Chains A and B, each alone.
Chain A
Amino acid sequence: MTETAIEVTALEHFFGDGEARKQALFDVNLAVARGSLTVLMGPSGSGKTTLLTLMGCLREVHAGSVRLLDRELFQSDEISRIDMRRRLGFIFQAHNLHDSLTARQNVMMGLQVHGRGDPKRHALAADHLLDLLGLGQRLDYLPGNLSGGQKQRVAIARALASNPDIIFADEPTAALDKVSGLAAVRLFKDLGRARGTTTVMVTHDPRILDLADRVVTLEDGRIVEDRAGTARNNASTAPA
């Protein structure tokens, strides 16, 4: 039986109050299997980012239910959401690296969120991840001295450093060339297979669709299409 990492039921979300109140999500239902790679697609303003932030414990759930790793987020308090976020990894389109920390130190922050630890072991883990992402020669570079693609890879390493249960990513390959982008997504896939890490990403990159297990399309705050991705189709049609 497939384990469910995220279960969204009858989710609705609003922005603003009174007459300015605007509904962003309408009766969204979604179940994401553990270890899968799910792509959220849709035009600008369709609600995919709002859905991502709600599933990522970055917003309060107003109505409906979001169960994340078997914990209900509706009516959860801020402390619970912060604790839950420590089990998640975030990759932002704007990498948001700390400009005064080196690549290694930025990745170490992903480990230090869990409290005091051995700085040497943290540094070794960060070095390993950065090396895996092809940045072994840029460990001590400040973000200002890295290219856009390199920064994004550091951000990916930071998100992966704490061995998260779920990765939420917003256009993680936008700044990467074809080879690097595919390598990064394959890394997510490998983590899904090896560790059961679930990945949910917003992307417009058609190359990613080939690797996705599932593609969910939103329009005007509603899921209008929910289909198996090419990877799943290929897997299911592959000869035994």
Chain B
Amino acid sequence: MTAFLARLLGRLPIGYLQLMHHPGRLLAALAGVAFANVLVFVQLGLAGSMAESVAIPYRLFQPDLLIISPAESESLSDASTLPRQRMFQALVHPDVTGGTPIYMGRSTWISGNDASSSIQFFGLEPDAGPFVHEALAAPLISLSLSDTALVDTLTRFVDMRGFAAAHPEAPVPFEMQGRQLGAIGTVSIGGGFGGDGVFLVSDQTFFQLFPQRSSATPSHILLALDPGADPGRVATELAQLYPPDAVRIRTVTQAMEQEVRYQMTERPTGLIFAFGVVIGIIVGIVIAYQVLSADVADHIREYATFKAMGFRQGFFVGIILEEAIILAAIGFWPGLALSELFYRSLAYLTNIPIFMTPDRAVAVFIGTIIACAMSGVLAMRKLAAAEPADLF
């Protein structure tokens, strides 16, 4: 390794040799870098999981446009209701070929072992197949049977194994909101940060479960457009049909991206994750700085000797950056492995969609290099104390 680095650097790899000369300190430094990496990965993983959780409900639907009430319109689940009349108004547009309302409500499901789960209900018209993911179109028709539901096999805190055999001809009974329902099929959606699972019911069953809700006030309206119609243009033209600020019209992709951005930048959870990432980076910088500055302090006489010999500042910068990059490059891998372990454990325990992505791993690796280099730059200030005249 020494010979390889010497060829690479064009000089003796003093930084590498210094680090290897103190294995105890090196291990502590690597543990520190790995710990900081885990902190950052966990926060990024949770943030990514939240973004993924936000996106999942949107992926259930495949409309061309989504009409949402302007109040709390940044979030699919929190948005206020809007008059169904808006759908009929939209159908007047020549490029709008169809529309369907969605009704959303939340309820707590208390299972037999007294565990409770927060369930997000979507109430859909059974013939809304063209507006939903193709895998849901067929089971949706079966929901026309009263008091039936498609239940989420990934629902947290509830043993869903008994629902695996749910079928329209052999419904699995369960109780919700004081009503006896029958599961006639399953979906695999999973909970996010706002709930533990997602159940799909027909609009009529939805009104039975949530009697205070009215068919006249859906949560959202889905629109299908003529193939070839430009959704952006149609959205602009539709907006002119409504009173100002009466609705917000977006494509599903736009709405999903906007909600992810909103959750990440304006909601406390997203900000907490972002803050956690910053804390992780600071911890990493501090740990690397401590190691590098201690190393400079320990070798101050040797550095002063090198200064006396005529080595320039660039040489010392090179040594410290060499150490910083080695710490980052080696410390990253145990951090990555521990984070992967953490992701898997968390996903197993909570069913939240948390997993390592290549772009995240690469970004954190580059960030680790930069953070360690910054620590090195800070540690270089100690080099000023290396005064060659004091050696005599």
Partner pick for A101 among B3, B12, B304, CB 8 A cutoff:
B12
Closest residue of chain A to B298, judged by CB?
A99
Give B1-25 as 1s and 0s: 1 = Cβ < 8 Å from A's Cβ atoms.
0010011001110100110111000
How far, in whole Å, are A96 and B391 apart by their CA atoms in the complex? Answer: 8
Q: How far is the CB of B301 from chain A (nearest CB, A)?
A: 5
Whether B88 sits at the interface, judged by CB under 8 Å, is no
Cβ B309 vs Cβ A49 within 8 A = no
Q: A162: which B residues are within 8 A, CB to CB?
A: 309
Whether A35 sits at the interface, judged by CB under 8 Å, is no
Q: B392: which A residues are within 8 A, CB to CB?
A: 49, 52-53, 58, 92-93, 170, 202
Closest residue of chain B to A98, judged by CB?
B302
**Residue with the highest number of chain A CB atoms closer than 10 Å, among B6, B7, B388:** B388
Q: How far is the CB of B23 from chain A (nearest CB, A)?
A: 11
Cβ A101 vs Cβ B14 within 8 A = yes
Partner pick for A53 among B11, B302, B309, B389, CB 8 A cutoff:
B389
Q: How far is the CB of B168 from chain A (nearest CB, A)?
A: 74
Known A-B contacts A109-B12, A119-B6; A100 and B309 likewise in contact (beta carbons under 8 Å):
no
Whether B305 sits at the interface, judged by CB under 8 Å, is yes
Known A-B contacts A92-B392, A112-B12; A98 and B299 likewise in contact (beta carbons under 8 Å):
yes
**Residue with the highest number of chain B CB atoms closer than 10 Å, among A49, A97, A112, A116:** A112
Cβ A82 vs Cβ B312 within 8 A = yes
Cβ B7 vs Cβ A86 within 8 A = no
Partner pick for B12 among A90, A94, A108, CB 8 A cutoff:
A108
Partner pick for B21 among A85, A96, A100, CB 8 A cutoff:
A100
How far, in whole Å, are A82 and B391 apart by their CA atoms in the complex? Answer: 16
Cβ B312 vs Cβ A94 within 8 A = no
How many Cβ-Cβ contacts under 8 Å join chain A to chain B?
Answer: 76
Whether A59 sits at the interface, judged by CB under 8 Å, is yes
Q: A49: which B residues are within 8 A, CB to CB?
A: 392
Query: Which residues 131-168 in A have Cβ within 8 Å of B in the complex?
Result: 142, 162
Whether B306 sits at the interface, judged by CB under 8 Å, is yes
Q: A225: which B residues are within 8 A, CB to CB?
A: none
Whether A105 sits at the interface, judged by CB under 8 Å, is yes
Whether B310 sits at the interface, judged by CB under 8 Å, is yes
Give the bracket for the number of chain B residues in contact with chain A. 20 to 34
Q: B311: which A residues are within 8 A, CB to CB?
A: 113
Q: How far is the CB of B296 from chain A (nearest CB, A)?
A: 13
**Residue with the highest number of chain B CB atoms closer than 10 Å, among A85, A96, A105, A142:** A96
Cβ A90 vs Cβ B14 within 8 A = no
Q: A94: which B residues are within 8 A, CB to CB?
A: 301, 391
Whether A181 sits at the interface, judged by CB under 8 Å, is no
How far, in whole Å, are A88 and B307 apart by their CA atoms in the complex? Answer: 12
Cβ A86 vs Cβ B17 within 8 A = no
Whether B308 sits at the interface, judged by CB under 8 Å, is yes
Cβ A98 vs Cβ B14 within 8 A = yes
Q: B312: which A residues are within 8 A, CB to CB?
A: 82
Cβ A59 vs Cβ B11 within 8 A = no
Partner pick for A85 among B6, B299, B308, CB 8 A cutoff:
B308
Q: How far is the CB of A204 from chain B (nearest CB, A)?
A: 14
Cβ B17 vs Cβ A101 within 8 A = yes
Query: Which residues 41-74 in A have Cβ within 8 Å of B in the complex?
Result: 49, 52-53, 56, 58-59
How far, in whole Å, are A92 and B306 apart by their CA atoms in the complex? Answer: 12
Cβ A90 vs Cβ B305 within 8 A = yes
Partner pick for B11 among A58, A100, A112, A202, CB 8 A cutoff:
A112
Query: Which residues 100-123 in A have Cβ within 8 Å of B in the complex?
Result: 100-101, 105, 108-110, 112-113, 116, 119
Cβ A113 vs Cβ B391 within 8 A = no
Partner pick for A86 among B6, B11, B304, B310, CB 8 A cutoff:
B310
Cβ A100 vs Cβ B17 within 8 A = yes
Whether A226 sits at the interface, judged by CB under 8 Å, is no
How far, in whole Å, are A170 and B20 apart by their CA atoms in the complex? Answer: 31
How far, in whole Å, are A127 and B196 apart by their CA atoms in the complex? Answer: 71
Cβ B310 vs Cβ A113 within 8 A = yes
Query: Which residues 275-303 in B have Cβ within 8 Å of A in the complex?
Result: 299, 301-302
Whether A3 sits at the interface, judged by CB under 8 Å, is no
Q: B21: which A residues are within 8 A, CB to CB?
A: 99-100, 142
Give A170-199 as 1s and 0s: 1 = Cβ < 8 Å from B's Cβ atoms.
100000000000000000000000000000
Enumerate chain B interface residues (CB-CB to A < 8 A): 3, 6-7, 10-12, 14, 17-18, 20-22, 299, 301-302, 304-312, 388-389, 391-392
Q: List 17 A-B contacts (CB under 8 A).
A: A52-B392, A58-B388, A58-B389, A82-B310, A86-B310, A88-B310, A90-B305, A90-B308, A92-B392, A94-B301, A98-B14, A99-B302, A100-B21, A100-B22, A101-B12, A113-B310, A113-B311
Give 3 nearest A-B pairs by CB, closest first.
A100-B21, A86-B310, A85-B310
Enumerate chain A interface residues (CB-CB to B < 8 A): 49, 52-53, 56, 58-59, 82-86, 88, 90, 92-94, 96-101, 105, 108-110, 112-113, 116, 119, 142, 162, 170, 202
Known: A82-B307, A97-B302, A98-B302; 15 extra A-B contacts, CB below 8 A, are A53-B392, A59-B389, A82-B312, A85-B310, A94-B301, A94-B391, A96-B305, A98-B299, A100-B14, A101-B14, A101-B17, A113-B309, A113-B311, A116-B11, A142-B21
